Structure 1
Amino acid sequence: MIPLLWLAGAAVVGIIGGVAIAVYWKEIIGWIEKVYAKLPAIIQQDLQGAMAFIRKLDEIYTNIMKYYSYSEQTEEWTETTVSQTVDASKVPDSIKKKMQSKKSELDITDEVEEQLKLVNG
């Protein structure tokens, strides 16, 4: 799960393994920042972490973020899911190859977490 500190501190991603891959990750990080900023304050306050996925349905790719928050007042967990369609040409070949062996959804949380580590040092 992506730690809260990395979500809040995300900025821009460096070039890794080629321009196309760097652009893809930069766009995901930018999207995560925008989504995080739009989350209700109560969810941001209680946020425990997040997970990232990419889904393929036919030839349509969708980035998905799932944010998990826990309210001590209500003692309940909340999952907030946000998605964005992405152009297939922007999805790195490494992710497309991983998706060939999977069903329709691939957990890319580790990859996003690694990009956030590089961004935030």
Structure 2
Amino acid sequence: MSNSPKHRLNYFELRVADSGRSRDFYSAALGWQFTDFGPTYAATTTDDTDLGLDAETKGPPLAVIESNDLEASLAQVEAAGGTIVKPIFDFPGGRRFHFTDPDSIEVAIWQRD
């Protein structure tokens, strides 16, 4: 697979009850700075491994993997037996899709604009 896209874990999304409260907690507890992306979402924007606080979606945390070729990543996930649960969609800063692995764990892969 010499032409495979490059992948790295660079984002972790916590599903929280109140993104403002969680933002304030992590800012005070760890000294992190967050950017608000609307009333229900805040995130660090360090361009390293960042943390998102999502008050709109319920469920377990979501690992988000960055790719340099989103369509190739989608094809590889499907070929490996992953199930696409959210097809490619746009969001501020890029595009992503969600899939479940053979253990039904949801993961997202994204590509920057």
Structure with the higher helix share, 1 or 2: 1
Q: Same fold (TM over 0.5)?
A: no
Structure holding more strand per residue: 2
TM-score, normalisation: structure 1: 0.24
Q: Which has the higher contact order (CA 8 A, sep 6+)?
A: 1
